[in-house]
Structure 1
Amino acid sequence: MDEAGTYGTGPDDPGTGREPESPRLVRRKTVLRAALAATAAIPVALAAGPALARTSAASGSAPQLTPSCDDGDDPTPEQTEGPYFKPNSPQRTSLLEPGLPGTPLTVTGYVFGRACLPLSGVLLDFWQADTNGAYDNTGYRLRGHQFTDSRGSFALTTIVPGLYPGRTRHLHVKLQAPGRPVLTTQLYFPNEPRNNTDTIFDPRLVMTVRDGGGGREAAFDFVLDVPQDPGPGPTPIPSGGTWTVGVTYRAGDRVTYAGRAYVCLQAHTAQPGWEPPAVPALWRAG
């Protein structure tokens, strides 16, 4: 992989399309975007509201409340590389090419360290099957790498991968923070029939996916095993007062907005567009 060294290739698997079991999985991590609320913009795929990456169901139901972030967050689970990885992919955020068939797909998210702080400059190397379930093993079609920006965010434009024997629908990705080990894993789609029969499938790696923009929009946040100093917590604020941009609210805090009272449901830092009437995931009238 240029810019970040060369990875080893996976095992040879002629003709079967099968991939070996992962030798090790780390513990579950519920990833939070709330850690970036004070400084980061919401990715395009989720710009309609503060739908954190792991809180919206594919059915479009109201997002569940996100638990508080702590300093012991588990890294994203590892998965097998499989037989189709190739080093030295081109640097690009879009894998689309003229004449490439398939349903458009955007994948957005953040990369965090162990203290739920964003990581900039993280390498993400994606590769996948085309709409017919085939990998390009001679060129670099549907292969590419990119780096997280200063906010720790990434965005990939591609197509929904097809199916091939023995596997459910999935994306491959390698991540590497500067000077840190490589994490190899896979991302999955919700409500796929083959999720129940694929022996490699891991529900902890299911993306949040919805229809939109003439295709599908997905979100997923990664956590790398990178030690971080969480620093001081937010300064407590007295409960009550008028809702104000830039204030850090805790669950249970009460505010008024446009003459109406609201109760905070989830800790966050207020941003423009997150006014209480507009974001029922964060505020409840009363």
Structure 2
Amino acid sequence: MDDTTPPTDGPHLVRRKTVLRAALAATAAVPAALLGGPALARTLASGDTVPPLTPACDDGDDPTPPQMEGPYFKPGSPRRASLLDAGTTGTRLTVSGYVFGLACRPIGAVLLDFWQADANGAYDNTGYRLRGHQFTGADGSFTLTTIVPGLYPGRTRHIHVKVQAPNRPVLTTQLYFPNEPRNNTDTIFDPRLLMTVRDAGGGAKEAAFDFVLNVPQDPGGPDPTPTATGGTWAQGTTYRVGDRVTYAGRAYSCLQAHTAQPGWEPPAAPALWRAL
């Protein structure tokens, strides 16, 4: 699945019928986009052609491959689905998709933490410009509003992301753009991480990508849910994903395993804690 053709040893592509079959087996609601609904980024082909979803998602197939974090990740990003701030310049980009487990069933409440370069190829390492995290809906869907990242020496265009299902390890990876000349020279570029991209009118672009996490699933069973633990947030305590605490009279669920430190109180660390 490089810019034009699938690699000979690449993963199996799932067609809509595969996901529909898994959804029906699970008696789950089928995402509207998979039925040719309003998610235009997902229906890129014309006529009767059924577009493949990327990356692979089929019972027992490989999950989305990881990639290096790079030097510019910052914890504690704000919770937001749009990374656009006042004064943000560049080509507007909307990325939509779903997060699936190994049985092609969508997973809700998945944390996705995005960060990227601006239109000039620079990262904001003092603040949180073009950084933010969000959670998938109950149907496993997400939508990110941002800009097409610029180029900087040695790399092709890419968007960084950390993806974590409840009670599961973090997947750190990167998303790429098709038909980029530097895809051929970037030493860590992986064609399995190509988004599907199209023009959306008015100079904007739309992209689609589905993550497949290494989360075992019974097609008829429930999605993973956090384990509930009680207690009041306390500095120095080691918290696991799914642990629940109270702070200032409000309940929170832990999103990433960590040891509590000053400044990481739940209201101040939305990348670590989700209010219940």
TM-score over 0.5 for the alignment?
A: yes
Indicate which of 194, 198, 205 corresponds to 1:216. 205
Q: Does 1:193 align with 2:171?
A: no
Shift of 1:63: 4.3
Q: Which moved more, 1:209-218 or 1:171-180?
A: 209-218
Q: Contact 1:29/1:74 (CA < 8 Å) preserved in 2? A: no
What is the deviation of 1:42?
A: 1.8
SS class of match (1:42): helix
Is it true that 1:207 corresponds to 2:195 in the alignment?
Answer: yes
Which residue is 2:155 aligned to?
167
- What is the alpha-carbon distance in structure 2 between the residues aligned to residue 134 and residue 192 of structure 1? 18
> 1:31 Cα shift?
5.0
8 Å Cα contact 1:33-1:110 kept in structure 2: no
1:189-218 deviation line (CA, Å, top 9, x unaligned): 000000000001000000000000420000
Indicate conservation of the 8 Å contact 1:32/1:116, yes or no.
Answer: no
Residue in 2 aligned with 1:17?
none
Q: Are 1:40 and 2:23 an aligned pair?
A: no
Cα pair distance change 1:33/1:150, threshold 3 Å: farther
2:140 to 124, 127, 152: 152
Which of 30, 38, 42 is equivalent to 2:13?
Answer: 30
**SS of alignment partner, residue 71 of structure 2:** coil
Alpha-carbon distance between aligned partners in 1 of 2:15 and 2:182, rounded to the nearest angstrom: 28
Relative to its length, the structure with more helix (as a share) is 2
5+ residue gaps, structure 1:
1-26, 233-286
Of the three residues 138, 148, 151, the one matched with 2:126 is 138
Distance 2:150 2:37 in 1: 24
* 1:184 to partner: Cα distance: 0.3
Q: Give the deviation of 1:77 after TM superposition.
A: 0.5
Once residues 37 and 184 of structure 2 are traced to their aligned partners in structure 1, the CA distance between those partners, rounded to angstroms, is: 28
* 1:88 is the counterpart of 2:76: yes
Of residues 71, 84, 87, the one that matches 2:59 is 71
Equivalent pairs, count: 200
* 8 Å CA contact retained: 1:123, 1:147: yes
Percent of aligned pairs sharing the same letter: 71
Partner of 1:106: 94
Displacement over 3 Å in runs of 4+: 27-34, 48-52, 60-70
8 Å contact from structure 1 (residues 173, 186) kept in 2? yes
3-state SS of 2:63 partner: coil
Q: Secondary structure at the match of 2:87?
A: coil
**CA RMSD, 1 decimal:** 2.8
Kindly indicate whether the alpha-carbon contact (under 8 Å) linking 2:111 and 2:163 is maintained by their aligned counterparts in 1.
Answer: yes
CA deviations 1:221-252 (Å, max 9, x no partner) are 000000100139xxxxxxxxxxxxxxxxxxxx
Partner of 2:257: none
Secondary structure, in 3 states, of the residue corresponding to 1:195? Answer: helix
Q: In the alignment, which residue of structure 2 is the partner of 1:5?
A: none
Q: TM-score, normalising length from structure 2? A: 0.66
Instruction: From 165, 178, 181, give the equivalent of 2:166.
Output: 178
Secondary structure, aligned partner of 1:133: coil
Match of 2:231 in 1: none
Which position in structure 2 is the counterpart of 1:3? none
Alpha-carbon distance between aligned partners in 1 of 2:157 and 2:206, rounded to the nearest angstrom: 15
The higher radius of gyration belongs to: 1
Compared CA separation, residues 217 and 87, structure 1 to 2 (3 A): same
8 Å contact kept, 1:188–1:207? yes
Check 1:48–1:173 CA distance in 2 against 1; reply closer, same or farther (3 A cut).
closer
1:231 is aligned, of 220, 241, 248, to 220
